[in-house]
Amino acid sequence: MDKNTRIAIIGAGPAGLSAGMYLEKKGYFNYTILEKNDHVGGKCNSPTYNGRRYEMGAIMGVPSYYAVHDVEEFAGITHDGPKLNRDYKDKNGNVIHPFDPKKNPLQIPHLMKMRKQVKQLGEILETKYKGYDVNGHRGVAQGRYDGYAVTPGREKVSGVNENLKDLALPFDEFCAKNGVELTKEIWIGPFTSFGYGYFDEIPAAYVLKYLDFQTTMNFVNINLWTWKNGTQSIWEALNDKLRNHARLNSNIEKVERKDGKVYITVNGQVEEYDKLIVTAPLQFFGEYADIREDEKKYFDKIDYERYDTMAVETRPEDHPEISYYVFENMTPERYGHLMVYYRRWRDDKNQPIVTYTLRNHKDKPEIPYEVAKKTVLDDLKTMKNPASKVINEGDWYYFPHVFTEDYAAGWYDDVEAMQGKYDTYYAGEIMSFGDMDETSEYSRELVERFFAD
């Protein structure tokens, strides 16, 4: 492709900004990043309170976040934030020790069985499900893999593995099929509590491509990365280093693709481009673009999580001493309840704690926002950490995905076959997974595939 190709990128979250970075690395500098908000970072959202930043969206990373490390190196930053830790409570607010045999000796047989199944899952993922962890979903429904390995070198890999079709099953069924049901007790913490849905509804592919074995073990061992100025600062630093900074407050009113060109009406002005990369939610593409019949057919199948975060003040005597997970509230039967609340700054009680809750499930009615908010505030009282004031609220469009039937029918292969059609490329959360590293890594792959030297 001509290096002078005029490229428009819609969205300045991790996917869009990473696309700009990887394009620059390939020698493409004639790109424009259009962002409707007045800030970059998307769901990496780190507001400031009393001189310190806290997290309303993404919280942390792990050493296997290789694309995020690319961004750090490019932007000249590093993970310099506070060390995180956690504890656990039951739904009645009692501190529990689900993984500590010394404090919970009656659980020793269960813990031994669970650890055996975790080891077993690690082994079958590397053998029976070889290729499960490549970035993106291309080929999985057909029993093959084609992408980049989750290694520091991220080498290109491909192959045939009929067993990969099992990844279309809900994670509950996948675990039952392989006799590793107890592993869900480990995987649920960084999955459901982080807003990615429930194991009885979400295809195993999403769970395992995000929480591949090495990433999960990093979470288990609390081998975590944080950033002093929040996850948003990663993308602010990247934006500052890019040759072409994201254009904020860009209201895209219309996208028209014709005669080999892309015409975008931004803030009342028509701009002409040669190619378009969409990293904003594809589900809403038709609200402003000349969406085609095949695009609409597939984008209409996308669902998403209603995931809410809320930052609250507490009285000093009510401030939690650590972050808490509430596993009993991470089940479909308890959707709408408080799943986890984070204390980011351990040395300062004059900082907010942030709560996280899911209020939808595939087979259940959506819980209204205000109802879930009240439930969470009541749960904080039950946890013995009542809020004295709500200072910020986030009502997120979160983790776009498709369900088992569409995944198994080849949704991803069909959409990937459309890449470049209408001079348009699709990236962002739905094409990989809704965490900052997977979306960034997918942008890297997109550039490698379609904007090669």
Is 214 in the same domain as 141? yes
Structure tokens at 211: 């929480």
How confident is residue 149, by pLDDT bands cut at 50, 70 and 90? confident
286: number of Cβ within 10 Å: 15
Chain segment 260-290, per-residue pLDDT in tens: 999 999 999 999 999 999 999 999 999 999 9
Q: What is the pLDDT of residue 206?
A: 98
Whether residue 453 is predicted with pLDDT greater than 80 in this model: the reply is: no
Please check whether residues 111 and 198 belong to one and the same domain.
yes
440 — pLDDT class (breaks 50, 70, 90) = very high
Whether 93 maps to a domain, the answer reads: no
pLDDT over 70, % of the chain:
100
The per-residue pLDDT for 213 is 95
Domain assignment of residue 90, yes or no: no
Tokens of 419: 């890449």
The CATH code of the domain that includes 383 is 3.30.70.1990
Q: Which of 220, 249, 274 is the last residue of a domain?
A: 220
- Model confidence over 188-211: pLDDT tens digits? 999 999 999 999 999 999 999 999
pLDDT tens across 24-52, in order?
999 999 999 999 999 999 999 999 999 99
Domain presence at residue 92? no
User: Residue 32: inside a domain, yes or no?
Assistant: yes
pLDDT in tens, 313-333: 999 999 999 999 999 999 999
| Position 1 in a domain | no
Query: Do 156 and 166 belong to one domain?
Result: yes
Cα(11)–Cα(267) distance, integer angstroms: 15
Structure tokens at 403: 């369900």
Domain count, the chain: 3
Q: Are residues 289 and 307 in the same domain?
A: no
Mean pLDDT of the chain: 97
Is 28 contained in some domain? yes
Angstrom distances, CA of residue 349 to CA of 51, 102, 270, 315, 342: 13, 30, 50, 8, 12
Query: Does 397 lie in the same domain as 307?
Result: yes
Whether the per-residue pLDDT at 98 is higher than 80: the answer is yes
Closest to 337 measured CA to CA, from 308, 368, 376, 374: 376
- Whether residues 121 and 168 share a domain: the answer is yes
Q: Quick one: 130 and 212 in the same domain?
A: yes
Q: Let me know if 73 is exposed, middle or buried by CB neighbors in 10 A (0-12, 13-18, 19+).
A: exposed
Distance from C-alpha of 164 to C-alpha of 187, rounded to nearest angstrom: 19
Q: Are residues 312 and 393 in the same domain?
A: yes
Are residue 308 and residue 444 in the same domain, yes or no? no
CA atoms within 13 A on the CB side of 86: 21
- Looking at the structure, do residues 296 and 408 belong to the same domain, yes or no? yes
First to last CA, the chain: 7
Within a domain: residue 352?
A: yes
Query: In this predicted structure, what is the pLDDT of residue 442?
Result: 97
Picking from 348, 350, 372, 280, the residue whose alpha carbon sits closest to that of residue 10 is 280
Question: Whose CA is closest to 40, among 227, 238, 225?
Answer: 238
Residue 439 and residue 429 in contact, taking contact as beta carbons nearer than 8 Å: yes
pLDDT of residue 104: 86
Same domain, 324 and 363: yes
Give the single-character DSSP code of 385.
Answer: -
Tokens describing residue 245: 């900074």
**Residues 353, 385: contact at Cβ < 8 Å?**
yes
Residue 94 lies in a domain: no
Which CATH number does the domain housing residue 236 bear? Answer: 3.50.50.60
373 and 438 together in one domain: no
- Single out the residue in 153, 187, 220 at which a domain terminates: 220
Provide the residue range defining the domain that includes 75: 7-81+227-302+403-450
What CATH number did the domain enclosing 146 receive? 1.10.405.20
Beta partners for residue 273, in sequence order:
262
How is 243-285 classified by DSSP, letter by letter? SS--B-S--EEEEEEETTEEEEEETTEEEEESEEEE-S-GGGG
Among candidate residues 181, 200, 220, the one where a domain is terminated: 220
pLDDT value for 151: 84
